[in-house]
Amino acid sequence: MRGAVLILTVCLFAFFTSLYCNQQDSIPEGDLLVLTVATEESDGFRRFMRSSRHFNYTVKVLGKGEEWKGGDYMSPPGGGQKVRLLKLALEEITEDNKIILFVDSYDVIFSSGPKELLKKFQQTRHKVVFSSETLVWPDRHLEDKHPHVREGKRFLGAGGFIGYAPNLKEMLSDWSGEDNDSDQLFYTKIYINPDKRKSINITLDSKCRLFQNLHGALDEVVLKFEDGRVRARNVLYDTLPVVIHGNGPTKLQINYLGNYIPNVWTFETGCTICNEDLRPLSGLQESEYPVVVIGVFIQQPTPFLTVFFERLLNLKYPKNRLKLFIYNQEPHHDEQVRKFLEGHESEYQGVKLIGPVEDIDPVTSRNIAFDVCRDDIDCEYFFSIDADVVLKNEDALKILIELNKPFIAPMMTKPGRLWTNFWGALSADGYYARSEDYVDIVQGRRVGLWNVPYVSHIFLVKADVLRTDLKDINPFESASLDSDMAFCANLRNKGVFMFVTNMQTFGRVLSTENYETKHLHNDLWQIFENPLDWEERYIHKNYSKVLSDNLIETPCPDVFWFPVFTDVACNHFVEEMEHFGQWSGGANTDPRIQGGYENVPTIDIHMNQVEYDKHWRKFLLEYVAPVTEKMFPGYQTTAQFDLAFVVRYKPDEQPSLRPHHDASTFTINIALNQVGIDYQGGGCRFLRYNCSITAPRKGWALMHPGRLTHYHEGLPTVEGVRYIAVSFVDP
């Protein structure tokens, strides 16, 4: 009983406070109608509609499907079409209490809801409120005619206003302009006319309480994160505007803000749009998968191209729904491309190859590639990949399709660097600039979908974009810009949002700098430039277990045996040496070594003869030194070596090597081919222990002390050819 009394008291208290504290009844949200003009359903329009749905605005879209004749911000003035459409729409509105918010859509985002908007409108105590601007436009001669404001912006912006329907009707009654006339000039002339201003009861939102126009105001606006939502804050007037408008040349800034406002990404929720409007593929039969044209572009000598094609092959997607377009400008890569096609061309729905002999420039080739998709009515997507992209994620194509954006790129990185295939912002001259969130995105502290001004190397674009926004032009062509920048500029100008996603790890981009093509297997030389790719290609899959799981055998006392090279590495070294071909004669006199005399000569080629000595030392440091230091505790090696070479044993040449000490602190001996398959016999015997290793394993290294204890001999190879890579390390 006492509880009920308490509740009653509280209710009465609440009732009376509301009665006395609100001097004015608040406007019901149902009285508000948002009118906007959008002739196309662009990405910007979808963004606008999402933010209005988020706050439950009631929106009516005018001009859908109409041809746009109102000009654009690149060729001002314009916008008269919007006035005509608004005037027409107002004629249908009969209720006098209706409040109309008229805003642009492609470059507008709501950052708060109708309730706050209406409250702030009410607080202006006017019947029509226009957004304000710092700059007078399009006729600066009208500057002096504008009434002074005590604080804030003095000029009118036509991109956003709110008012009672009857007042707006009165304001528009004078309109008789053309679609390409300036709406802003029209409204300005009404505003600076004192009589009209008074009778229509117009004021400006000078301090950006309702509307924030970004043009001329970039320094005033910052993101404000608060409890699962994001707003823009005007730091000049300390206000939180409701409508954010990227007017004029501030499209990139509204795109940036739109990556957060109103709740697109927040600290509390992470990305909230990442699971919206998806196009799931999981339920589809393979034959129902959308047809994709994959464009592969080889425009420079590129390391690990064979691996690139292996990955392309392993992409998880039905191959009979894929068409390949391959552009190869490099004669050097002809062979690799040919081998790939020989093996796999028939698996794909179709293949078009443009090789170096056709002499087509890269810019043209990219548009020809687009044509392959444009001209095929079944083509739904174009997937562009440059050959220096290391696409590690086999699901990448599916993932990107499912995200269902007109244009999307997976974020690609370079190991250990802040480099990626996107730019977060542009400098004034259109080049790279770092956005405030760039590092957080690159390092994965912010994960989601990001609308950015530039991407390169790899992207997925819907065929519709190619057939509409980018028809009739070669979007890569420009008199002044590089083709990648020209392409992005065209997409920006067409209002196509370039999304980049870091929701998954997709892969990286190779360094193509300093890639020399004078050897047979040039990738062997990539240990410095692309160490990760070098390791993946050449270091044994179980090498990591050597240290972590003690995957190390001791076949003879103090002889350690562990996996280090892949089969590919072994093959490449053998083929490289045979390709070089200058095997020593096996005589005692050897001008290649200090002193010119070799006591126990082998038939071999030194690493420095093929310019591999620096690389070999790097290999020893990275992959052998850790094992040495583990097995010989307290000993630290600098991996200096006097000699490192590949030896060839052959029955009719040099089948074996007599007992000897190595001139080393320790010796590494890596088997480069396989006993029983490539040769018979062979192996190594340590005389002091009467212990032989007769079944060397391809890619495994033997490591043993050199000078003192491990007197040893090379056992005879009786058939075939045996290769080993030997290094005398000291110290």
Ligand X SMILES: *[C@@H]1O[C@H](CO)[C@@H](O)[C@H](O)[C@H]1NC(C)=O
Collapsing DSSP states into helix, strand and coil, what is residue 284?
coil
658 catalytic per annotation: no
Q: Report the residue number, 189 or 592, with the smaller CB distance to ligand X.
A: 189
Catalytic residue among 321, 508, 537, 722: 722
- Where in 220-328 does DSSP place strands (E)? 221-226, 229-234, 243-245, 265-266, 270-271, 291-298, 322-328
Q: How many CB atoms lie within 10 A of CB 521?
A: 17
Q: Does 125 bind ligand X (CB under 6 A)?
A: yes
- Does residue 126 bind ligand X (CB under 6 A)? yes
Please state the closest distance from residue 569 (CB atom) to ligand X, in A: 12
CB of 687 to ligand X, least distance (A): 9
CB of 178 to ligand X, least distance (A): 5
Secondary element (H or E) of residue 3: helix 2-21
Answer for which of 40, 87, 113, 553 binds ligand X (CB under 6 A) is: 113
Phi and psi at 73, nearest 5°, equal: -70, -15
Q: How long, in residues, is the chain? A: 731
| 8 Å CB contact between 490 and 465 | no
CB of 200 vs ligand X, minimal distance in Å? 9
Site residues for ligand X, 375-404, by CB under 6 A, read none
Q: How many residues bind ligand X (CB under 6 A)?
A: 13
CB of 179 to ligand X, least distance (A): 7
- Residue placing its CB nearer to ligand X in the complex, 545 or 707: 545
Neighbours of 395 (CB within 10 A): 13
The one segment of 16-24, 123-131, 136-144, 475-483 that binds ligand X by CB under 6 A? 123-131
Output the smallest distance, CB 694 to ligand X, in A: 10
Residue 55 CB, shortest distance to ligand X, in Å, is 5
For 379, half-sphere exposure in the C-beta direction (CA atoms, 13 angstrom radius) is 29
When asked if residue 688 is in the footprint of ligand X (CB under 6 A), the reply is no
Q: Which DSSP letter does residue 340 get?
A: H
Kindly give the pairing relationship between strand 32-37 and strand 59-62.
Answer: parallel
Sign of the torsion formed by the C-alpha atoms of 145, 150, 154 and 156: negative
**Region 534-563 residues binding ligand X, contact defined as CB under 6 A:** 541-542
Judged by CB under 6 A, which stretch of 124-132, 318-326, 409-417, 706-714 contacts ligand X? 124-132
Within a 10 A sphere around the Cβ of 12, how many other Cβ atoms? 10
In terms of CB distance, is 192 or 503 closer to ligand X?
A: 192
Among the candidate windows 119-127, 315-323, 527-535, 717-725, which touches ligand X by CB under 6 A? 119-127
Q: Which is nearer to ligand X, 201 or 213 (CB)?
A: 201
Beta strands in 206-290 (DSSP E): 211-213, 221-226, 229-234, 243-245, 265-266, 270-271
Closer residue to ligand X in complex, CB, 127/572 = 127
Among 1, 581, 690, 708, binds ligand X (CB under 6 A): 690
DSSP state for residue 516 in the 8-state scheme: -
Distance CA 493, CA 75 (A): 12
* Residue 113 or 706 having the CB closest to ligand X: 113
* Residue with Cβ nearer ligand X (24 or 599): 24
Alpha carbons 175 and 194: distance in angstroms, whole number: 18
- How many Å apart are CA 694 and CA 715, to the nearest integer? 8
Q: How far is the CB of 198 from ligand X (least distance, A)?
A: 5
Of residues 70 and 410, the one with the C-beta less far from ligand X: 70
**161-189 burial, b if ≥16 CB within 10 A, otherwise e?**
bbbbbbbbbbbbeebebebebbbbbbbbb
Q: Which residue has the tokens 């058939």?
A: 719
Q: Is the dihedral of CA 305, 309, 314, 317 positive or negative?
A: positive
Stretch that binds ligand X, among 122-130, 149-157, 499-507, 631-639 (CB under 6 A): 122-130
DSSP β-bridge partners for residue 559: 556
Give the span between the Cα atoms of 451 and 499, in whole angstroms: 4
> Which one-letter DSSP state was computed for residue 130?
E
When computed from its CA atoms, the radius of gyration of the chain, rounded to whole angstroms, is 36
Tokens of 438: 């760039």
Residue closer to ligand X (CB basis): 127 or 207: 127
| CA 612 centroid distance within chain | 35
CB 673 within 8 A of CB 722: yes
Residue 294 CB, nearest approach to ligand X (Å): 30
Helices vs. strands in the chain: H and E counts, helices first? 20, 40
Q: Which of residues 618-677 bind ligand X (CB under 6 A)?
A: none
In the bound state with ligand X, the residue whose beta carbon lies nearer, of 545 and 618, is 545
Residues numbered 189-218 forming contacts with ligand X, rule: CB under 6 A: 198, 201
Identify which of residues 126 and 153 has a Cβ nearer to ligand X in the complex: 126
Site string for ligand X, 482-521 (x = CB under 6 A): ----------------------------------------
C-beta of 277: minimal distance to ligand X in Å?
Answer: 19
Among 50, 82, 127, 572, binds ligand X (CB under 6 A): 127
Helix H or strand E segment including 409: strand 407-410
CB of 229 to ligand X, least distance (A): 10
- The interface with ligand X within residues 23-62 (CB under 6 A) comprises 55-56
Q: Which span sits near ligand X by CB under 6 A: 88-96, 121-129, 350-358, 711-719?
A: 121-129
| C-beta separation of 203 from 163 below 8 A | no
Closer CB to ligand X, residue 201 or residue 212?
A: 201
**In the 8-state DSSP scheme, what is residue 565?**
B
Distances (CA, A) of 252 to 76, 407, 423: 19, 16, 11
Q: Which stretch binds ligand X (CB under 6 A): 125-133, 467-475, 571-579, 708-716?
A: 125-133
Shortest Å distance, C-beta 487 to ligand X: 29
| Sole residue written with tokens 């370079």 | 414
CA distance 54 to 231: 13
Asked whether position 84 contacts ligand X by CB under 6 A, the answer is no
Residues 334, 336, 338, 340, CA torsion sign:
negative
Minimum CB–partner distance for residue 102 and ligand X (Å): 19
User: HEC states along 58-106?
Assistant: CEEEECCCCCCCCCCCCCCCCEHHHHHHHHHHHHCCCCCCCEEEEECCC
CB 540 within 8 A of CB 529: no
Q: Which residues pair with 454 in a beta bridge?
A: 423
Closest CB to ligand X among residues 452, 556: 556
41: three-class secondary structure by DSSP: coil
Maximum CA pair distance of the chain? 114
Q: Restricting to residues 162-191, name those near ligand X by CB under 6 A.
A: 178, 180
Which residues lie near ligand X (CB under 6 A)? 55-56, 113, 125-127, 178, 180, 198, 201, 541-542, 690
Catalytic residues: 722
